């Protein structure tokens, strides 16, 4: 887009006014009709020059206009026109060839277009999903899986060495209640009178685990289902079966973790005990009412928190502190936790705990997401008999497919409540946003198929990009060239929804260009024209579109199909 050429032209004009090396900041006007780039430099220099900003802007514009007119071919200069707007803004319209020259960069980079080295290869951990092994994964886990994987993808694309980690809470009272619930269903399986304990787990999946236990062990534990041996077997069997189910769901989702970390290992290795001792040595703990408290208020928490209860058992945040000290010790000095909004209260406590042990403020970083409501025909879809709760991750994924599930959970800001519209998710037309993007990609593939050529054979050598003269072409090219900056910004903000927004808008521009001036059922012909100059340039644009859409979908973990059954239906 040659922003440097504009800066040089403006500074050349300003040098005649006695101003050298001004800070010429450029941005895209919100209204494309105002041009491609704009600067407020005249407003910033008004006080220094003692003149009206609009007068300064007009003088700059006249100087640049005279330089434009001196070039027989405006492509040599790169700027087609300059105008003054409002109180003194300068608006620039770039020459068609200058706008299109960015396609060379896209084609050259291909699969790497949009990548950067901002992270410098530094290690960074993204921990997400981390579902308790007490039941099938619910929709909060599904949203977290999609968000966490996309955030990790964005960070990978911007040069970080990313590790995906799953933290299994396989210890504590919740696992004991799981074992007791299975024990009750196990007794019922053999006709015994037994009830699920208070706070236990209800869904049909508990019956499935109990049935497996009965098949493997017979009635061995019927007489004493609460014995230590019986509960150990039920605990181990339940956790193993539920972990296997979680792993299947995540694998079907195309999600694989680098590390699976067990909470139980923190106790087995003595890390919880050593962390408690280190906190006491820090002077940040005190004893009260038989419990051990951490002075979390010194680090911004609303009140101090119990670290070890009066019965000697740790509260849940002590092993969390131990776990995050371990993350730091493993070399992850940048760590992001993607969790549900119900974890809001843990943020200050964990961060206070690690700060008390010398880690920096704000470690680890948290991305919290709101819960999900699934609707069909305007009504909530709620009950899953098997889970005894809302529809499960696996059930939703089976119903609408992996790509749709991923996209719908990524296309809204994490901190906003999400209504998952099943009607829209099941729609396979352009009304469904993920299909809209995938169809646009498939349409570009259809152009190469129609031409009988491979996309890799399309380059820019000898291609006359100055033939792009329509606004639809200009705006589409400008959209493609925004992709690297967008990826960088989305990564910094931990915001995959920005990629979704961009892909939908770009797909709309692609479709407008694809169908422009061609109402026939073969819009590829609008690209594959007889004029070689125009044909080659449009093929270069089609390849660039395909590259950007494919790379954007890849960041989100979504397929970019080359052919779709309804891609050519209008």
Would you say residue 403 has pLDDT above 70?
yes
- Of all residues in the chain, the percent with pLDDT exceeding 90 is 70
Residue with tokens 């044909």: 535
Q: What is the pLDDT of residue 170?
A: 85
Question: 527 pLDDT band (50/70/90 cuts)?
Answer: low
Q: What is the rounded average pLDDT for all residues in the chain?
A: 90
The per-residue pLDDT for range 100-140, each reduced to its tens digit, is 888 999 999 999 999 999 999 999 999 999 998 999 999 99
Q: Which two tokens stand for residue 515?
A: 């169908």
What's CA 72's distance to the chain center, in Å? 47
Contacting residues for 10 by C-beta, under 8 A, at least 6 apart: 22, 24, 39, 41, 60, 64, 90
Would you say residue 87 has pLDDT above 50?
yes
Alpha-carbon distance of 403 to 365, in angstroms, equals 28
Q: What is the DSSP letter of 27?
A: B
Are 365 and 378 found together in one domain?
A: no
Are 437 and 551 found together in one domain?
A: yes
The per-residue pLDDT for range 216-257, each reduced to its tens digit, is 999 999 989 889 999 999 999 999 999 999 999 999 999 999
Are 363 and 377 found together in one domain?
A: no
Are 453 and 533 found together in one domain?
A: yes
Bond preceding residue 364 cis, omega within 30 of 0: yes
Q: Which residues pair with 127 in a beta bridge?
A: 165, 337
Q: Which residues pair with 288 in a beta bridge?
A: 291
Kindly state whether residue 133 falls inside one of the protein's structural domains: no
Kindly state whether residue 196 falls inside one of the protein's structural domains: yes
Q: Which of 101, 139, 240, 142 is nearest to 182 (CA)?
A: 240
Range of the structural domain that residue 351 is part of: 269-369
Kindly state whether residue 161 falls inside one of the protein's structural domains: no
Kindly state whether residue 365 falls inside one of the protein's structural domains: yes
Domain boundary among 79, 94, 109: 94
Question: 513 pLDDT band (50/70/90 cuts)?
Answer: confident
Least confident window among 80-94, 174-188, 238-252, 372-386 = 372-386
Q: Which two tokens stand for residue 420?
A: 């998952």
Kindly state whether residue 262 falls inside one of the protein's structural domains: no
For the residues 548-570, what does the mean pLDDT come to? Answer: 84
Question: 505 pLDDT band (50/70/90 cuts)?
Answer: very high
- Please report which helix (H) or strand (E) contains residue 361, including its range: none
Are 357 and 396 found together in one domain?
A: no
pTM tops 0.85: yes
Kindly state whether residue 51 falls inside one of the protein's structural domains: yes
The per-residue pLDDT for range 190-211, each reduced to its tens digit, is 999 999 999 899 889 999 999 9
Are 473 and 522 found together in one domain?
A: yes
Q: How many CB atoms lie within 10 A of CB 303?
A: 8
Would you say residue 390 has pLDDT above 90?
no
Would you say residue 161 has pLDDT above 80?
yes
Question: 386 pLDDT band (50/70/90 cuts)?
Answer: low
Would you say residue 74 has pLDDT above 50?
no
Question: 293 pLDDT band (50/70/90 cuts)?
Answer: very high
Between these two residues, 21 and 234, which has the higher pLDDT value? 234
Kindly state whether residue 135 falls inside one of the protein's structural domains: no
Would you say residue 539 has pLDDT above 60?
yes
The per-residue pLDDT for range 253-281, each reduced to its tens digit, is 999 999 999 999 999 999 999 999 999 99
Domain boundary among 40, 71, 94: 94
Q: Which two tokens stand for residue 33?
A: 């009709």
Are 422 and 314 found together in one domain?
A: no
Are 453 and 413 found together in one domain?
A: no
Are 274 and 365 found together in one domain?
A: yes
CB 23 within 8 A of CB 41: yes
Would you say residue 420 has pLDDT above 90?
yes
Domain count of the fold of the chain: 5
Are 437 and 544 found together in one domain?
A: yes
Exposed (0-12), middle (13-18) or buried (19+): which is 5, by Cβ within 10 Å?
A: middle
Kindly state whether residue 7 falls inside one of the protein's structural domains: yes
Q: What is the pLDDT of residue 514?
A: 81
Least confident window among 155-159, 368-372, 535-539 = 535-539
Are 188 and 278 found together in one domain?
A: no
Q: Which two tokens stand for residue 22?
A: 């001004």
The CATH number of the domain holding residue 490 is: 1.10.730.10
Q: What is the pLDDT of residue 78?
A: 75
The CATH number of the domain holding residue 299 is: 3.40.50.620
- Please report which helix (H) or strand (E) contains residue 124, including its range: strand 123-128
Q: What is the pLDDT of residue 384?
A: 65
Q: Which two tokens stand for residue 99?
A: 């706008």
The HSE-up count of residue 8 (CA atoms within 13 Å, CB side) is 8
Q: Which of 567, 549, 442 is nearest to 502 (CA)?
A: 549
The per-residue pLDDT for range 484-501, each reduced to its tens digit, is 999 999 999 999 999 999
Question: 519 pLDDT band (50/70/90 cuts)?
Answer: very low
Between these two residues, 77 and 268, which has the higher pLDDT value? 268
Would you say residue 543 has pLDDT above 90?
yes
Are 437 and 415 found together in one domain?
A: no
């Amino acid at each position: 887009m040659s922003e440097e050429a504009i800066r040089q032209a403006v500074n050349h004009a300003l040098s005649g006014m006695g101003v050298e090396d001004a800070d010429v900041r450029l941005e895209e006007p919100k209204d494309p009709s105002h041009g491609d780039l704009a600067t407020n430099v005249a407003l910033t220099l008004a006080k220094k020059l003692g003149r009206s900003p609009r007068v300064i802007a007009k003088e700059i514009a006249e100087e640049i206009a005279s330089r434009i007119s001196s070039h027989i071919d405006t492509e040599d200069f790169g700027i087609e026109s300059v105008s003054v707007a409002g109180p003194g803004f300068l608006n620039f319209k770039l020459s068609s060839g200058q706008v299109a020259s960015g396609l060379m960069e896209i084609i050259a980079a291909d699969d790497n277009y949009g990548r950067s080295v901002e992270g410098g290869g530094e290690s960074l951990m993204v921990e997400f999903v981390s579902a308790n092994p007490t039941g099938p994964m619910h929709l909060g886990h599904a949203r977290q899986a999609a968000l966490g994987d996309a955030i990790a993808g964005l960070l990978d694309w911007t040069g970080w060495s990313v590790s995906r980690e799953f933290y299994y809470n396989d210890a504590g009272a919740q696992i004991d209640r799981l074992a007791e619930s299975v024990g009750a269903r196990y007794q019922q399986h053999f006709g015994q009178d037994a009830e699920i304990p208070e706070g236990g787990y209800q869904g049909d999946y508990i019956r499935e685990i109990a049935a497996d236990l009965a098949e493997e062990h017979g009635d061995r534990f019927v007489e004493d289902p609460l014995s230590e041996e019986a509960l150990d077997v039920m605990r181990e069997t339940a956790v193993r079966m539920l972990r296997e189910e979680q792993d299947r769901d995540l694998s079907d989702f195309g999600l694989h973790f680098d590390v699976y970390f067990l909470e139980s290992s923190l106790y087995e290795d003595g890390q919880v005990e050593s962390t408690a001792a280190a906190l006491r040595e820090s002077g940040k703990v005190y004893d009260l009412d038989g419990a051990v408290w951490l002075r979390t208020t010194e680090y911004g928490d609303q009140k101090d928190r119990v670290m070890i209860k009066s019965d000697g058992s740790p509260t849940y945040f002590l092993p969390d502190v131990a776990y995050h000290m371990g993350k730091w010790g493993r070399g992850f000095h940048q760590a992001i936790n993607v969790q549900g909004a119900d974890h809001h209260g843990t943020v200050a406590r964990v961060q206070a705990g690690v700060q008390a042990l010398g880690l920096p403020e704000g470690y680890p970083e948290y991305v919290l997401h709101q819960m999900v409501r699934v609707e069909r025909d305007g009504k909530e879809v709620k009950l899953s008999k098997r889970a005894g709760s809302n529809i499960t991750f696996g059930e939703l994924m089976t119903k609408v497919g992996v790509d749709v599930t991923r996209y719908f959970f990524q296309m809204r800001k994490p901190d906003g409540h999400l209504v998952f519209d099943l009607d829209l998710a099941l729609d396979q037309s352009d009304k469904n946003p993920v299909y809209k993007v995938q169809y646009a990609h498939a349409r570009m593939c259809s152009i190469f198929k129609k031409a009988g050529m491979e996309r890799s054979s399309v380059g820019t050598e000898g291609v006359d990009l100055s033939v792009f003269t329509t606004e639809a072409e200009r705006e589409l090219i400008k959209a493609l060239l925004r992709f690297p900056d967008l990826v960088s910004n989305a990564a910094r903000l931990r915001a995959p929804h920005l990629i979704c927004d961009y892909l939908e808008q770009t797909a709309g521009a692609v479709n407008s260009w694809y169908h422009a001036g061609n109402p026939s059922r073969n819009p590829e012909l609008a690209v594959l024209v007889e004029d070689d100059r125009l044909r080659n340039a449009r093929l270069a644009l089609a390849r660039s579109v395909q590259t950007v859409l494919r790379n954007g979908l890849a960041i989100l973990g979504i397929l970019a199909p080359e052919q779709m059954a309804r891609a050519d239906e209008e």
